[in-house]
Chains A and B, each alone.
Chain A
Amino acid sequence: MRPSFLLTSALALTLGTATLADTPTPQSVLQTYATIGEANFQDSLITAKALQAAVGALITTPSAETLQAAKDAWLRARNPYQQTEVFRFANPIVDDWEGKVNAWPLDEGLIDYVDSAYGLSDENDYAALNVVATPVFTLSGTEVDAIDITPELLQNTLHEADGIDSNVATGYHAIEFLLWGQDLNGHDAGAGNRPWIDFAKGDACTNGNCDRRAAYLKAATDLLVSDLEYMVAQWAEGGEARANVLADETAGLSAILTGMGSLSYGELAGERMRLGLMLNDPEEEHDCFSDNTHNSHYYDGMGIQNVYLGRYTRIDGSLVEGPALTDLVAADNAALDAEMTAKLASTMAALEALKEAGDTGFAYDQMLERGNVRGEALIMGGVNGLIDQTKSIERVIIALGLDQTQIEGSDSLDDPSAVFQ
């Protein structure tokens, strides 16, 4: 289950030029980081295009098989994307864009039908709007024509409608909801169970408006592909995300570590993992419709390790590798590099245990149930590893002399959402 071990021979072939023995320059570390970013977003795009094709087949020929194929394609598309999350939190090109593709949590009743017991939020007047069933509606006092469901409608009108974050109309989780439907199993095993005939043509259609549901799914998937195309271009030679990283060595190195620390601590350990456990709510899991949360956390953790070690395994099995932070830290403070590397590995071991449990039938929503000791231990194993590694990330920031730049205009302080207080 450790692809990086299996692929060490491929590594030697593809990147024999890397001079691992020498201390790398900061510039070469940043180059590796940007190159991993480009490859990782490319993989996200490739798998999103496969999802787009599978969604096309589902819409043209609705069946249990084509729905399953689209779900499988979505699951495959998640793995590379989750690894890109570490590129967030310090690069405005990524941060200004990320909410379009991976916003969460969502009030899914905005998009399509939900169970009658669906809890309505005090804060969101549109939590049960159901665009699929409602071609014309009033939004913040303005009449909206949603007769044609287009990417523009989703992106410009529906997404974050009324200024509310949980009005998520686009991205992976909107698509996930349309493919799986609500997970009504509570704390029992089982994902959402949308019947394929929700996409059937003519009289076979269940739950109404199958054509509009299909149009929404197509628009959301097309938008995901075009959004990822944009992001790949930003990481290519001459792209702005790459330029941001390479412009200034101190700021660039600081950005790598800010992404690692912010994702480890506030985002993953906090909002996505520990909070859900403390709330004991089966909907408080990141990929709640598909029950894919264990994989989503695992690949997030892997992304953090990737950028520190400077190694990314592509979806075709090839390896992208080069000089990395680990070399830079080791040259100056071998003990600290050993500490950082060991903590990343121990987090990955914990996340792997979580992934294996999930893969072998212990669903994440079962783990969240009150009093589920084994589930709590699995999730807290990951949380503790992530919190622990954050301390070492802070030590690395200090060791590399990057701490003084953080005081002024730290991005990690500028884009918050309160969960912990």
Chain B
Amino acid sequence: MLRSLIAALMLCLPVAATAETADPVEAVITGLILPGFERLEARSAGLDAAAQADCNPEAPALRSAYNAAFDAWVQVSHLRFGPTEENDRAFSLAYWPDRKGFTPKVLSQLLKAQDPAIHDPESFAHLSIAGRGFYGMEFLLYDTRFRDPPEYACALIRASAHDIALTTAAIAKDWHSDYAHKVLHPGTENSPYQTQEEVVQELYKAFTTGLQFTLETRLGRPLGTFDRPRPNRAEAWRSGRSLHNIALSLSSLHENALLLSTGHPKMGVQLDAGFDAADEALSRIKDPIFADLSDPSAWLRADVLRQSIDLIRDQQSANLGGELGVAAGFNALDGD
């Protein structure tokens, strides 16, 4: 199933990349951002509908809708500015990594107390971000410790799916109603950007931060060191999505980089070479949740992927910044 999804995604690439514009900003907005958040909205609505129809955590229709929506999230997960940052929207969709176990803690507290806050969308939206979104729902669907009492667990799944649908719809609405306009028209009254350079920097920063997150967090956390791999830190291992999420995000970042390099055809060739090497390394990894990392050859195969993404950062990504004439600026991953 995973392979076919990746293949389907790859098919979309050339279409977006040939968007007929010389402006990298317009290319990224029309080729990636707007369709990406539309897809996330539609699939989240599908998840909401599936949960209201049948909240059994084992129900195939619910799980399939959940995975489809999660896929759509991963594809836009690096586009963290503007509408995603209003009202903690993206945080509430995706609280991970969870180093201190807040997600299971919050969910256990809700289930134990049968907290009535879940019965109203407004009060649900004030719950801890650790209990909401795709990562919280993964515990509810795939971890049997979070199913009692069953009626409350069912209501919680429905409330969470509805919350995801409302949040993703709000993001898509803001992008369409005015944020795309603000990004395309820097220096106008309501735009947070003073110049075109600031807009390009924002888009470039989203790309580099996404690449860094996939490298160091999605892949780097389970990989750990050769002597001490940490497979239990893999992303979304309960639902078997760890490697799949890396593949999806690399695909989307590849697409993003090509769109950003609009007008710099030589960059496109370089970027393809870098991302193709990463795809090749990824295809050799056998365990979808990195559970085999204590096997030295498995660890080394995953490390080759790490090196290939690291190389993209060092080479192609840096060159792209140079071509665009912008620096990466400060991102949320700065810090200790």
Q: Which residues of A contact B (CB under 8 A)?
A: 88-89, 98-99, 103, 105, 119-123, 162-163, 165-166, 261-262, 264-267, 270-271, 274-275, 278-281, 370-371, 390-391, 393-395, 397-398, 403-404, 406-408, 410, 412-413, 415-421
Q: CB < 8 Å: which of A265, A274, A403 contacts B326?
A: A403
Q: Do A410 and B332 contact each other (CB < 8 Å), given the known contacts A121-B100, A281-B102, A398-B197?
A: no
Do A270 and B101 touch (CB < 8 A)?
A: no
Do A397 and B327 touch (CB < 8 A)?
A: yes
Closest to A99 in B: B336
Q: CB < 8 Å: which of A105, A271, A407 contacts B318?
A: A407
Q: Do A418 and B88 contact each other (CB < 8 Å), given the known contacts A279-B130, A403-B327?
A: no
Best-buried of A166, A264, A266, A415 by chain B (most CB within 10 Å): A266
> B28-36, B37-45, B151-159, B211-219: which lies at the A interface?
B211-219
Closest to A376 in B: B126
Do A370 and B328 touch (CB < 8 A)?
A: no
B300 within 8 A of A: no
> B182-190, B224-232, B272-280: which lies at the A interface?
B224-232
Q: Which residues of B contact A99 (CB under 8 A)?
A: 336
In Å, the complex CA distance between A381 and B282 comes to: 43
Do B228 and A119 touch (CB < 8 A)?
A: no
Interface residues of A, dominant DSSP:
helix
B residues 122-149 in Cβ contact with A at 8 Å: 126-130
B265 within 8 A of A: no
Q: Do A421 and B78 contact each other (CB < 8 Å), given the known contacts A281-B102, A370-B128?
A: yes
> B14-22, B91-99, B255-263, B284-292: which lies at the A interface?
B91-99
Do A418 and B336 touch (CB < 8 A)?
A: no
B residues 305-324 in Cβ contact with A at 8 Å: 318, 321-322
In Å, the complex CA distance between A275 and B129 comes to: 9
Rounded to whole Å, the gap between the CB of A405 and the closest CB of chain B is: 8
Rounded to whole Å, the gap between the CB of B146 and the closest CB of chain A is: 14
Do B201 and A421 touch (CB < 8 A)?
A: no
Do B335 and A278 touch (CB < 8 A)?
A: no
Q: Which residues of B contact A278 (CB under 8 A)?
A: 88, 91-92, 95, 128-129
Do A266 and B322 touch (CB < 8 A)?
A: no
In Å, the complex CA distance between A393 and B334 comes to: 15
In Å, the complex CA distance between A267 and B334 comes to: 6
Best-buried of A275, A279, A398 by chain B (most CB within 10 Å): A279
List, sorted by A's number, 17 A–B pairs whose CB atoms are closer than 8 Å: A98-B336, A121-B100, A123-B101, A123-B233, A264-B330, A266-B331, A266-B333, A267-B334, A270-B332, A278-B92, A394-B329, A398-B327, A403-B326, A416-B334, A418-B97, A420-B91, A421-B94
Q: Which residues of B contact A163 (CB under 8 A)?
A: 224-225, 228
Closest to B78 in A: A421
Rounded to whole Å, the gap between the CB of A353 and the closest CB of chain B is: 21
Q: Which residues of A contact B336 (CB under 8 A)?
A: 88, 98-99, 103, 267, 415, 417
Q: Which residues of A contact B100 (CB under 8 A)?
A: 105, 119, 121, 166
Do B334 and A280 touch (CB < 8 A)?
A: no
Q: Identify the 8 closest CB pairs spanning chains A and B, nearest first.
A: A420-B332, A266-B334, A416-B333, A267-B335, A403-B327, A262-B334, A406-B327, A418-B217
